[in-house]
Chain A
Amino acid sequence: DIVMTQSPDSLAVSLGERATINCKASQSVLYSSNNKNYLVWYQQKPGQPPKLLIYWASTRESGVPDRFSGSGSGTDFTLTINNLQAEDVAVYYCQQHYNPPWTFGQGTKVEIK
């Protein structure tokens, strides 16, 4: 199984500042035949289902503000939230779908400092 490890577990960022969340896979999730990373990022607010933010590790889902960006390849990935807004308070998860079992990071809680 591919183990996904996020860091940090939580972070507090001032409004307007940048939040950076890391996600490390225990093995590569880059599919060589299409050069795509099978890695997505979600945002989840209390009482709500996850919301897809980023797919293919760096492609923003339609309607997601451009302050959210994803980067990385292979085993190391980053979700960056620029100009943090109050509505960005949530838990963020990375998930790989390279191979079943699909696995998640443990989540990173983002709060306002």
Chain B
Amino acid sequence: EVQLVESGGGLVQPGRSLTLSCTASGFSFGDYGMSWFRQAPGKGLEWVGFIRNKASGGTPEYAASVKGRFSISRDNSKGIAYLQMNGLQTEDTAVYYCTRYGSAWVDAFNVWGQGTMVTVSS
């Protein structure tokens, strides 16, 4: 079964750091780009960033709202994508989701994790 499981969320003070993990199973992780999205309480969906697959160089892209503070990486041997969040702000409070996209957009966005909640508060 193709599955994505996010973990690492929790309550964190403003200015602190947190690292989220997205553990993949049931598919060839290295062949897929991985993306992070978030949803603030009661709000719409927002793209956070993605990391390209191995064949495309494994490079990341970020939304302007997180660029310079957040970093996406991946460990293809473990099947895990990471979202390192530094300098967290109250407006980063959200449920964070990961999803995948294949080359030529095969199987893009068709599998999502259940999400992990990040609360930034003093």
Interface residues of A (CB under 8 A from B): 38, 40, 42, 44, 48-52, 55-56, 61-62, 93, 95, 97, 100-107
B44 and A107 within 8 A (CB): yes
A49 and B97 within 8 A (CB): yes
Q: How far is the CB of A96 from chain B (nearest CB, A)?
A: 10
Task: Choose among A50, A51, A62, A103 the residue with the greatest number of B CB atoms under 10 Å from its CB.
Answer: A50
A106 and B44 within 8 A (CB): yes
What string of 1s and 0s marks CB contacts (under 8 Å) between B83-122 and chain A? Answer: 0000000000000010001000100111011110000000
B45 and A95 within 8 A (CB): yes
Decide yes or no: A103 and B105 within 8 Å by CB, A49-B112, A49-B113, A52-B110 being known contacts: no
Decide yes or no: A55 and B105 within 8 Å by CB, A49-B112, A49-B115 being known contacts: yes
Given the complex, which residues of A lie within 8 Å of B101, measured CB to CB? 97
Given the complex, which residues of B lie within 8 Å of A104, measured CB to CB? 44-47
Interface residues of B (CB under 8 A from A): 35, 44-47, 50, 61, 63-64, 97, 101, 105, 108-110, 112-115
- Sorted nearest first, the 7 A-B pairs with minimum C-beta distance are A49-B112, A102-B47, A100-B61, A52-B110, A104-B45, A107-B44, A52-B109
- Give complex CA distance A51, B114 in Å: 11
Chain A, Cβ-Cβ closest to B111: A52
Q: How far is the CB of B62 from chain A (nearest CB, A)?
A: 8
Given the complex, which residues of A lie within 8 Å of B108, measured CB to CB? 40, 55, 97
- Give complex CA distance A106, B45 in Å: 8
- Give complex CA distance A91, B93 in Å: 21
Q: How far is the CB of A47 from chain B (nearest CB, A)?
A: 9
Decide yes or no: A93 and B105 within 8 Å by CB, A49-B113, A52-B110, A100-B50 being known contacts: no
B63 and A101 within 8 A (CB): yes
- Give complex CA distance A101, B37 in Å: 11
Q: How far is the CB of A61 from chain B (nearest CB, A)?
A: 6
Q: How far is the CB of A4 from chain B (nearest CB, A)?
A: 10
Chain B, Cβ-Cβ closest to A96: B47
